[in-house]
Structure 1
Amino acid sequence: MVKKKGCNPCKMFEPTIKDVAIENSLDFKAIKAEEMPEKMRPKYFPFFYLMDNDELLESWAGISTRKMTKVLSRHIDNFIFNE
């Protein structure tokens, strides 16, 4: 998750994505946009990268649990999401 200082949607959604990561045995990392090179920063926050080792599987922006569920279900067998 790439988050930006002062981003209320980032603060609001981070606990949800952390819980999903725990329930599905995924590694979760939060990156501060301010620590990234400016040319590599996403335009929208929060921004997510789904990686398998060093391979980018998919990326998306926003706090839609529906979008998150669709993305993760495509890549994770027996995906679990308890709202």
Structure 2
Amino acid sequence: MGAQISSQQRSDHGEVLLVHSLDSWNTRFQNSKTSNKLMVIDFSAEWCRPCKFIEPAVHDFAVEFSDVDFIKIDIDELPDVAKDFEVKAMPTFVLVKKGKEQERIVGVKKDELHRIIEKHRF
């Protein structure tokens, strides 16, 4: 068995956690329910070109908003999680706080994503 969670890091300590198993996701999601910390879930796929296009911006946001958890889920790896969140297109970004969806963005909308992260992070 491989790693269940890995991270993509940049030199300035921004981190996006890649969740690879349902158990790891369930643990992380349950823990988020008791935290005031905002979680940004990036639903993407390896073959998704728009997902690859916005990926550098997501890493930049992880650096800028170090008080926010950034989680990346590949819909082909964890289709049940994507189904639970009713993901219909990629990329889809779902902002969750205390286990409840606050807002979502579908598509490559960097400025809008930045704005709603700022809005919900405190």
TM-score, normalization by structure 1: 0.76
2:62 maps to 1:21: yes
RMSD: 2.1
TM-score, normalization by structure 2: 0.55
In the alignment, the residues of structure 2 paired with residue 23 and residue 71 of structure 1 have an alpha-carbon distance, to the nearest angstrom, of 14
Flag structure 2 segments of 5+ consecutive residues without an equivalent. 1-41
In the other structure, the counterpart of 2:48 is: 7
Flag structure 1 segments of 5+ consecutive residues without an equivalent. 78-83
Q: Secondary structure at the match of 1:37?
A: helix
Give every structure 1 segment of 4 or more consecutive aligned residues whose post-TM-superposition deviation is greater than 3 Å. Answer: none
In the alignment, the residues of structure 1 paired with residue 89 and residue 65 of structure 2 have an alpha-carbon distance, to the nearest angstrom, of 25
Written as runs of structure 1 = structure 2, the 5 A alignment for 1:11-50 is 11-25=52-66, 26-34=68-76, 35-37=78-80, 40=83, 42-50=87-95
Partner letter of residue 95 of structure 2? L
Q: Alignment identity in percent?
A: 26
Q: Secondary structure at the match of 1:10?
A: helix
Q: What's the CA shift string for 1:40-82, capped at 9, x where partnerless? A: 15121100111123121111111111221232232235xxxxx
Which structure's residues are more often strand, by fraction?
A: 2
Q: More displaced, 37-46 or 9-18?
A: 37-46
